[in-house]
Amino acid sequence: DAGVIQSPRHEVTEMGQEVTLRCKPISGHNSLFWYRQTMMRGLELLIYFNNNVPIDDSGMPEDRFSAKMPNASFSTLKIQPSEPRDSAVYFCASSLDRQTTEAFFGQGTRLTVV
Amino acid sequence: GEDVEQSLFLSVREGDSSVINCTYTDSSSTYLYWYKQEPGAGLQLLTYIFSNMDMKQDQRLTVLLNKKDKHLSLRIADTQTGDSAIYFCAVLMDSSYKLIFGSGTRLLVRP
């Protein structure tokens, strides 16, 4: 397996534009997580899914953020409209189940909103 | 909610041992992890420990867990320049299955 695949690796967009980040988890994994990493706040859990169902989205900062998982092999994180303070590295991770010894992380998407 | 804290920075000389410390607040956590992040990359699991263990050794890595004090440490023996990275402590909350990360400790290994 190629691991968790995120796209794009880098995204630069203008304030107000819609941004969609994509993630393909490892095949067979039941849980998927979206994290945001910034210098100021470190790693923050935004939302996680189990069997394609959102379990906890309490980390989603605002209504501008939304996440979907239409099937077991794909998830999106959308920001609409984007703002400069959304600039961060966004990580997707997947794990075999909720109680697991390892969550596998993607390479991340570095988002810059100008 | 759960709080996981780490010191921000550690500098050691090549060949010395490194000890990275972490404290947490949720005493019910069953799984505790150490992740490594190299520049421009995602997080990679280094090792983990179950809460019913005091120590776990894996080659150059030793994890110590003091449940009473809610203190976790990672010792890297014979630290190499390739060990320079950010190390994250993470705790799995049993109640919500959330993985809560510390802020990360940046390890710098000097030649």
Looking at residue B17, its pLDDT comes to 97
Using an 8 Å CB-CB cutoff, list chain A residues near B96. Answer: 56
Selecting from B40, B42, B98 the residue whose C-beta is nearest the C-beta of A56 gives B98
Q: Please check whether residue B31 is in contact with residue B72, taking contact to mean a CB–CB distance below 8 angstroms.
A: no
| Confidence class for position B9, pLDDT limits 50, 70, 90 | very high
- Cβ <8 Å between A101 and B48: yes
Q: Tens of pLDDT along chain A (114 residues)?
A: 679 999 999 999 999 999 999 999 999 999 999 999 988 888 888 998 999 999 889 889 889 999 999 999 999 999 999 999 999 999 999 988 765 657 889 999 999 999
Please indicate if any CB of chain B lies within 8 Å of the CB of A101: yes
pLDDT at A99: 58
Tell me: pLDDT of B62 over 70. yes
Which residue reads 């993607």 in tokens? A106
- Measured from the Cβ of residue A38, the count of other Cβ atoms closer than 10 Å reads 13
Q: B88: closest CA among B16, B4, B13, B3?
A: B4
Q: How far apart are CA A28 and CA B61, in angstroms?
A: 30
List, as ranges, residues 26-55 from A with C-beta within 8 Å of B: 31, 33, 35, 42-43, 45, 48, 50, 55
Neighbours of B65 (CB within 10 A): 20
Mean pLDDT for all residues in chain B: 91
Q: When comparing pLDDT for A42 and B34, which is higher?
A: B34
The set of residues, in sequence order, having a beta carbon less than 8 Å from that of A78 and lying 6+ positions away, is A18, A19, A20, A21, A65, A66, A67, A68
A31, A43, A100: residue with CB nearest B101? A43
Give the pLDDT band of residue B31 (cuts 50, 70, 90): confident
Phi, psi of A13 (to 5 degrees): -140, 160
Ramachandran class of B15: left when φ > 0, alpha when ψ lies in -120 to 50, beta otherwise: left
Selected residue with higher pLDDT from B94 and B67: B67
* Strand-strand pairing, B71-76 and B18-24: antiparallel
The DSSP bridge pattern shows strands A109-113 and A10-13 to be: parallel
- Picking from A35, A56, A101, the nearest residue to B31 by CB comes out as A101
Q: Give yes or no for residue B105 having a pLDDT over 90.
A: yes
